[in-house]
Amino acid sequence: MASIFTKIKLYLEANSKTWEDEQNNIRLQNDGSGDYIHTWSVDGLSKPSNSQLTSYETAGNTEESNNAVRATRKNLYGDIGEQLDEIYKDIDAWKARIKKIKDDNPKE
């Protein structure tokens, strides 16, 4: 199940807004039964209804899954300086290593 944060982020993006620009205008809270929107003061965009947020469930699951893949890939790629050294020494070996990482960790 996608988090409310991810669904809100997708809702904002679908309405030409970004979390980075609006994060100070939105406050999430958890009362013990799950996260919910406590405060919403996004200029020009009404607070999403529960059904609007639910409509982002599939896209949210995909986004969260792809974020996990990106984090795994980033960890496996290693330090950029080491990658550049590897490219300098043997670009074909670097390409093969990166391709294997991507093949082993596909995005949806």
pTM comes to: 0.80
- pLDDT at position 18: 97
Of 80, 70, 79, the closest CA to residue 101 belongs to 70
Each residue's pLDDT tens digit, 34-77: 999 999 999 999 999 999 999 999 999 999 999 999 999 999 99
**Number of separate domains in the chain:** 1
Find the distance separating the first CA and the last CA of the chain, reported in whole Å.
16
Per-position b or e across 50-68, b if 16+ CB within 10 A of its CB? eeebebbeebbbebeeeee
Question: Hey, what amino acid is at 76?
Answer: L
- Domain region containing 12: 4-104
- pLDDT at position 64: 97
